[in-house]
Structure 1
């Protein structure tokens, strides 16, 4: 009984590190309140699923078989995924892309765990005792976690997540999951356990797994460079718009300056004409007419 409960506990606990790995690329856009909600939500799901599975195991509805855990995984992992996607939104296709990368990492750890399990604990393998597998899986997963966090953490910057959504995400987002689906359909996980000890099959599996991981890393690097290039283009566009505004302001200033110069030329021309007229009136001794003309000029200036 204790063996069964320990196996169920490790199975439920093994779902928490992948959930954190999937959350990590979006941490920059999550505030303290939502971070607390995610933490409490993940812990709540963990305890509820463990209690439910323990009750089903105690009643005899569940049997400790490897195939059973593969079946349970599809249902037990779904609440974690929905909690994260519905809390950190609307990055739907970004979530899908990160989920695919995380699945590649999990397939890597799962395959390595099986190889270690077969190599060092062949008796437990043939007896279908899955507790050692979960111990090995969690150890390898946590061992590679720092490197996985470093790769996933550099996937999105805060500016990249807050910029307008890129048009390529609906097409690129599902690609890692499609690769995982193709890898899972190679038949490795459905073979007879005894056949998995064949050296040729082991070498083939590791080669295919290495290709899958390299493709995942290539996708990460491509996304990083693409998003950085997009940021540079957006910054250049903003700088061009700013320069265009400055050029428009200079052009408007030049137009107003030319207009003022034209008005000043007209005023100078009129002033010379008025002065010549006043001089002629003064020479003729028509001072009253000159004074009257000066008053008219004054009124004209005041009206302007």
Structure 2
């Protein structure tokens, strides 16, 4: 009974780091209330699942074999997933994308764990012992957590989450589809003797590494694409500012041309009126010359 309880406890604990990875990219937009809901929700789900599964195994209502825990994974992840997508919404397809990346990492860690288990403890492997698997899996998962946090941490920002590009509808399910394909390649349907073959070890490790690299490339492609889009918006804003500045310069140049035209007309009129004043003075018509000068002065003030 103790082995069943400890194994179930480790199984439930193994779900928590994966749930945290799904939350990690969305932490920038999570409000304090949402964070409290997620923390309390994860604790309640963990306790509920641990109590229920322990009761099922200790009362022999469920067979204590590795296959039972594999099926439980499908149901145990669902409450954590639903809690996250309904607490931080409406980013449905981005949640699917992050879940697919996290599943890629889980599949890789699972494969490495199985290889270590088979090579180091073949006697336990042949007797289908479950507890050693989780004793290897959980530390390996935690060792790779900093890399996954680095990879997922730069995936979204508050600014990017405020936009809803249409490509997420098609890109979101891609990692999960890849995980489904790799998880159903028939590897675990082989005979035990074949699974211990070095060629099988090498093949499975390479295939899981390639899967993880695909996820890494997807994230980097999205980040580079976002940077390009951001650069295009910056260039567009800079172009708009330059157009506004050119418009202001053109308006200023137009006003200068108008002033120059007015000055040219004023100089022409002034020369004409000054010649007239000079002629009046030469002819001795001083009063008329004075009146003409006053008219010129008045016109200059009006302009």
Given that residues 273 and 296 in structure 2 are in contact (C-alpha distance below 8 angstroms), is that contact kept between their aligned partners in structure 1? no
1:102 Cα offset (Å) = 1.2
2: CA distance between counterparts of 1:277 and 1:252?
38
Note if 1:251 corresponds to 2:250: yes
Q: Deviations over 1:215-266 (max 9, x none)?
A: 2232233233222222222222222222122111111221222223223333
1:16 Cα offset (Å) = 0.7
After superposition, residues 199-278 of structure 1 pair within 5 angstroms as 199-273=198-272
2: CA distance between counterparts of 1:271 and 1:53?
105
Partner of 2:65: 65
Q: Deviations over 1:109-142 (max 9, x none)?
A: 1111112222233333333331221121101111
1:100 Cα offset (Å) = 1.6
Which has the higher mean CA deviation after the structures are superposed, 97-106 or 290-299? 290-299
After superposition, residues 148-167 of structure 1 pair within 5 angstroms as 148-162=148-162, 164-167=163-166
2: CA distance between counterparts of 1:272 and 1:92?
80
Partner of 2:4: 4
Partner of 1:92: 92
2: CA distance between counterparts of 1:52 and 1:294?
108
* Structure 1 pair 2–199 and aligned structure 2 pair: CA distance change class (3 A): same
Q: Secondary structure at the match of 2:34?
A: helix
Q: Secondary structure at the match of 1:15?
A: helix
1:279 Cα offset (Å) = 6.3
Given that residues 273 and 292 in structure 2 are in contact (C-alpha distance below 8 angstroms), is that contact kept between their aligned partners in structure 1? no
- Aligned-residue Cα RMSD (Å) equals 3.1
Using structure 2 for the length normalisation, give the TM-score. 0.84
1: CA distance between counterparts of 2:280 and 2:40?
99
2: CA distance between counterparts of 1:293 and 1:25?
82
Q: Deviations over 1:65-120 (max 9, x none)?
A: 22222222111101212222233334333322222221111001111111222223
2: CA distance between counterparts of 1:229 and 1:270?
61
Given that residues 281 and 290 in structure 1 are in contact (C-alpha distance below 8 angstroms), is that contact kept between their aligned partners in structure 2? no
* Structure 1 pair 274–32 and aligned structure 2 pair: CA distance change class (3 A): farther
1:157 Cα offset (Å) = 4.6
Gaps of 5+ in 2: none
Given that residues 38 and 83 in structure 1 are in contact (C-alpha distance below 8 angstroms), is that contact kept between their aligned partners in structure 2? yes
Partner of 1:129: 129
Gaps of 5+ in 1: none
1:183 Cα offset (Å) = 0.7
Given that residues 160 and 231 in structure 1 are in contact (C-alpha distance below 8 angstroms), is that contact kept between their aligned partners in structure 2? no
2: CA distance between counterparts of 1:147 and 1:300?
79
* Structure 1 pair 36–263 and aligned structure 2 pair: CA distance change class (3 A): farther
Number of residue equivalences: 302
